[in-house]
Amino acid sequence: MSKDQIVITNSTGKAYFDFKKALAEVTDGIVNAATEALDEAKQDGALFAVQEVRAESMSHGWTRYYKGWQIKRERTAKQTKYIVHNKTHYQLTHLLENGHRIITVNGEDTGKRTKAIKHILPVYEKVPEVIDEAFTKRLKDKGL
């Protein structure tokens, strides 16, 4: 080893004589840990959303609707998505959230509308905060 070489050791004691390699390994480790933390935080946000929408559904007495809320995970090469949806009564979510026209049993339009019951939108607006807090906490837990 010459005078102008720098020896860098990582936390495991592995020695590097090339600064570029040492920097690449450190940054790759940080990126991987941050990506893992973000994925876990998104999952926490989805779990929060399901719990909140279920609680709101139960408060209205919609027990069969309550049971259908689930999380669907979709992985691609670049990212993982968590989709919160109602598997059993998916048609009902839009009708309850936005209201709908009232039609009689005979198929006649009464010209009236039901009241919209906003039970998804408030949860949807809270989820980014939950994900942000979970992401920050997970980064701190990983020492980043």
pLDDT tens by residue, 91-113:
999 999 999 999 999 999 999 99
* C-alpha triplet 52, 47, 29: angle, nearest 5°: 145
Q: What are the Cα distances from residue 91, in Å, to 42, 80, 85, 106, 115?
A: 25, 25, 11, 21, 17
Tell me whether residue 23 is in a domain.
no
- Does residue 1 have a pLDDT over 60? no
Judge whether 77 and 68 are in contact, CB under 8 Å.
Answer: no
If one counts the domains in the chain, the total is 1
Tell me whether residue 10 is in a domain.
no
Tell me whether residue 17 is in a domain.
no
Tell me whether residue 28 is in a domain.
no
Give residue 77's domain range.
37-141
Tell me whether residue 3 is in a domain.
no
For residue range 34-47, what is the model confidence (pLDDT) as tens digits? 999 999 999 999 99
Q: What pTM does this model have? A: 0.76
Confidence tier at 87 by pLDDT (50, 70, 90): very high
Least confident of 19-28, 71-80, 105-114, 129-138: 19-28
| 3-state secondary structure at position 113 | strand
Tell me whether residue 122 is in a domain.
yes
- Does residue 12 have a pLDDT over 90? no
User: What pairs with residue 9 in β-bridges?
Assistant: 15
